[in-house]
Amino acid sequence: MENEKYSKELNVAVRVVHMACSLCQKVQNQFLSTNSDQVKSKDDDSLVTVADWSVQAIVSWMLSEVFGGQNISIVAEEDIQTLTKSESSSLLGMVVNAVNECLAEASRFGLQAPGKALSASQILDAISRCNSHGGPSGRHWVLDPVDGTLGFVRGDQYAVALAMIDDGEVIIGVLGCPNYPLKDDGLNKYSQQNLVMLKIPSGEVGCVMYTMKGTGKVWMQPLLPCDKRLEWPNSAVRIRVSSVDDPALATFCEPVERTNSNHSFAAGVANTVGLRKKPLRVYSMVKYAAIARGEAEIYMRFARSGYKEKIWDHAAGVLLVQEAGGVVTDAGGRPLDFSKGIYLEGLDRGIIACCGIKLHEKIIGAVYASWESSNL
């Protein structure tokens, strides 16, 4: 990618996400093979795993080492409340081991490893340092360490999402998708299956996608095999959105869980606009990845009343779709605002991502046509 103002930030972000994906693959394989106690429920009943905390720790540590120590602003999902409970000592031990095993391989990703293994307190500090609330001024890194934790624990789709916001604008987006099949139609073929247990051959699944605002270019790299060093950006290929603009031919994505999106309203919109294919229900921000690389054309998400969307669930994916030639707005057709803190404030009904303006306009029109009969 061209030598831009933020080239160093993009370079580091891509390498860190590759490293985080490697950690996630190891933790997921261990979890699925042993069913060990690596998953906990948070106060809102959502799940958190050893991978969530471990990825947040290594991303926080690496970014802080490269870009300014304790003063760096990182907005991320996890805290250390559960890890610091007395009954969580074994869980904390697993996080410490996972982090240090991953950091020991940092040179494979072109990054500098610490001089010695990090202590539990250093790792907890790295996790808790990600407590920024973002905002309209300054530079803020935005991390979802494991987006789609339910997909992660089921051996299905999940993502490591890292973005950088500068003065309220998303400038860098990097999305690691360890279980995303690289072949065309792979996501549709393996949708809601345990990809880990299917034992898809190495080299056919897993990638990192990345972009920088204003370049109009999105790149995809296969995940790094365990015996290789990262060659960046030599192994990357450029991806683009689909050219389909006929609703009858379009594939649309939505969340798997009904708690995350109103499937019935989405079905009404689909019927109104003339979508004929069944929805492709996918865990995590991989839905954005599918649009960015042309495997799907539409992503609709209509959260139920009272739910507030967090910026870490969308920042990286939105930029990927936009720079790949697509359009992302709220359901009223307005741009998403990432400058208001950790939430997408003022969101109109939901989020619509499309491969092009023609489909987008049709979907927005269908939202308004369907609204009176909805139960949102």
Q: How many residues does the chain have?
A: 376
Give the active site residues: 52, 149
SS (H, E, C) the chain: CCCCCCHHHHHHHHHHHHHHHHHHHHHHHHHHHHCCCCEEECCCCCEEEHHHHHHHHHHHHHHHHHHCHHHCCEEECCCCCCCCCHHHHHHHHHHHHHHHHHHCCHHHHCCCCCCCCCCHHHHHHHHHCCECCCCCCCEEEEEEEEECHHHHHCCCCCEEEEEEEECCEEEEEEEEEEEEECCCCHHHHCCCCCHHHHCCCCCCEEEEEEEECCCCCEEEEECCCCCCCCCCCCCCEEECCCCCCCHHHCCEEECCCCCCCCHHHHHHHHHHHCCCCCCEECCCCHHHHHHHCCCCCEEEECCCCCCCCEHHHCHHHHHHHHHCCCEEEECCCCCCCCCCCCECCCCCCCEEEECCHHHHHHHHHHHHHHHCCCCC
Specify the pTM.
0.94
Question: What confidence tens digit (pLDDT) does each residue in 305-353 have?
Answer: 788 999 999 999 999 999 999 999 999 999 999 999 999 999 998 999 9
Q: Letter for the amino acid at 319?
A: L
**How far is the C-alpha of 158 from the C-alpha of 286, rounded, in Å?**
7
Residue 82 counted as domain residue: yes
Residue 313 counted as domain residue: yes
pLDDT at 43 over 70: no
Same domain? 194 vs 342: no
**Mean pLDDT (whole number) for 231-259:** 90
Residue 192 counted as domain residue: yes
Q: Are 321 and 292 in contact (CB under 8 A)?
A: yes
Beta bridge partners, 301, equal 351
Question: What confidence tens digit (pLDDT) does each residue in 57-89 have?
Answer: 999 999 999 997 668 999 998 989 889 888 888
Same domain? 328 vs 271: yes
Beta bridge partners, 170, equal 165
Same domain? 61 vs 152: yes
**How far is the C-alpha of 17 from the C-alpha of 93, rounded, in Å?**
23
Same domain? 181 vs 87: yes
Domain end (from 217, 239, 261): 239
Domain encompassing residue 313? 247-371
Report the CATH number at residue 331: 3.40.190.80
Residue 2 counted as domain residue: no
Same domain? 174 vs 114: yes
| Structural domains of the chain, count | 2
Residue 275 counted as domain residue: yes
**Mean pLDDT (whole number) for 93-109:** 96
Residue 1 counted as domain residue: no
Question: What confidence tens digit (pLDDT) does each residue in 148-180 have?
Answer: 998 998 889 999 999 999 999 999 999 999 999
Domain end (from 218, 239, 260): 239
Same domain? 348 vs 314: yes
Report the CATH number at residue 190: 3.30.540.10
**How far is the C-alpha of 53 from the C-alpha of 362, rounded, in Å?**
41
Same domain? 270 vs 333: yes
pLDDT at 47 over 80: no
Helix axes 357-371, 263-273, angle to 10 degrees: 120
Q: Which of 50, 55, 34 is nearest to 93 (CA)?
A: 50
pLDDT at 252 over 50: yes
pLDDT value at residue 1 = 46
- Print burial letters for 240-259: b (CB count within 10 Å at least 16), e (below 16): bbbebbebeebbbbbbbeee
Same domain? 54 vs 187: yes
Q: Which of 323, 247, 336, 330 is nearest to 291 (CA)?
A: 323
Domain end (from 239, 268, 302): 239
Q: Which of 288, 277, 283 is nearest to 261 (CA)?
A: 283
Q: Are 64 and 72 in contact (CB under 8 A)?
A: yes
Q: How many CB atoms lie within 10 A of CB 151?
A: 22
Query: What tokens appear for 197 in the block?
Result: 């247990």
Look at the alpha carbons of 135, 136, 141, 147 in this order and tell me if their dihedral is positive or negative.
positive
pLDDT value at residue 36 = 56
Same domain? 185 vs 251: no
Question: What confidence tens digit (pLDDT) does each residue in 258-306 have?
Answer: 777 889 899 999 999 999 999 999 999 999 999 999 999 999 999 877 8
**Mean pLDDT (whole number) for 98-108:** 96
pLDDT at 96 over 90: yes
Same domain? 252 vs 222: no
Residue 376 counted as domain residue: no
pLDDT value at residue 194 = 77
Q: What is the mean pLDDT of the chain?
A: 90
pLDDT at 248 over 80: yes
Same domain? 189 vs 273: no
Question: What confidence tens digit (pLDDT) does each residue in 363-372 have?
Answer: 999 998 876 6
Same domain? 220 vs 279: no
Binding site feature residues for Mg(2+): 77, 144, 147, 313
pLDDT at 197 over 80: no
Residue 120 counted as domain residue: yes
